[in-house]
Amino acid sequence: MNRTGGLLWHWRAWQRQSQWQGACDDIGQWLDQVQPVRQELLIIGASAGWMMPVRWLQGFKKITTFDIDSWAAPLFRWRHGRQLQASGTELTCCTSDALTPLDAVLRAHPKAAVLFDNVLGQLRFQQPSIDLASAQIDKISRSMRAREWGSVHDAYSGPVYPARPAAGAPRGHPSVRVAHPSPAQNPEIAQFSAQFNARGEWLDHLTANLFPRGTPVHHIAWPYAPNYSHWLQAGWIAP
């Protein structure tokens, strides 16, 4: 089973919907600020749309999803299909890789906006080396020039103390270290550590330079498990 998907992932996502609700709300608030120009949307790495608000998806006339996970397409239809049909949104779900042939996918949908849904931060697990993963992320970013696109993805992830600090009284652990750190990480990591009670060594998902310089980036805490959290970043680039 691919560690970035599969039946176990969907089972966990279904079980943890209440724990993940805060992160889902934050993603929804970010998307509410996005004003897409295009009426067609490609979602790459769509999974079942566990963290995707259907109200935002209903603003498109046509949506095509891509995911290599064989469970993703039927579960996406199960979760969102009826509401998209009610809004007149045409939905096509593809069980296929859209990252390797990305340029061909973009040519086949020249008028579509693109959303990478929690997939680009997983590429370091799908490549045999950090250098190859970084090169793939850079190539994807260059391929998206002159397109309307966005991404929500892992920036860092790592262990946390199960008992989160009380609001207004953070108990930080700013000694958190990040595996394969990026040059600008230190202030952000310290702030995240202090706010969310992080501990130990955190993993860098190699996405720090994904967006063009100056892109507004939203930071979202995702408490994946009681003792493990992900720091998501989200951004949208106008054409």
Give the chain's domains with CATH numbers.
Answer: 7-162+207-237 (3.40.50.150)
pLDDT surpasses 80 at 239: no
pTM: 0.87
Find, among 221, 164, 158, the residue nearest to 30 by Cα. Answer: 221
Residue 158 has pLDDT above 50, yes or no: yes
* pLDDT-above-90 percentage for the chain: 76
Torsion of CA 42, 47, 51, 52, to 10 degrees: 30
CA dihedral 235, 152, 226, 18 (to 10 degrees): 100
The answer to whether residues 27 and 52 touch, using CB atoms and an 8 Å cutoff, is yes
State CA 79 to chain mean position distance: 18
CA 19 to chain centroid, in Å, comes to: 17
pLDDT value at residue 180: 43
Q: What pLDDT score does 198 carry?
A: 80
Alpha carbon 101 to chain centroid, angstroms: 20
pLDDT confidence of residue 184: 43
Measured CA to CA, the distance from residue 106 to residue 209 in angstroms comes to 21
- Residue 213 is which amino acid? R
pLDDT at 206: 95
Q: Which residue has the tokens 């190539």?
A: 139
Can you tell me the mean pLDDT for 38-59? 96
pLDDT at 169: 31
116, pLDDT greater than 50 = yes
> Does residue 96 carry a pLDDT above 90?
yes
Both structure tokens of 233: 């970043």
- Rounded to an integer, the average pLDDT of 186-199 is 66
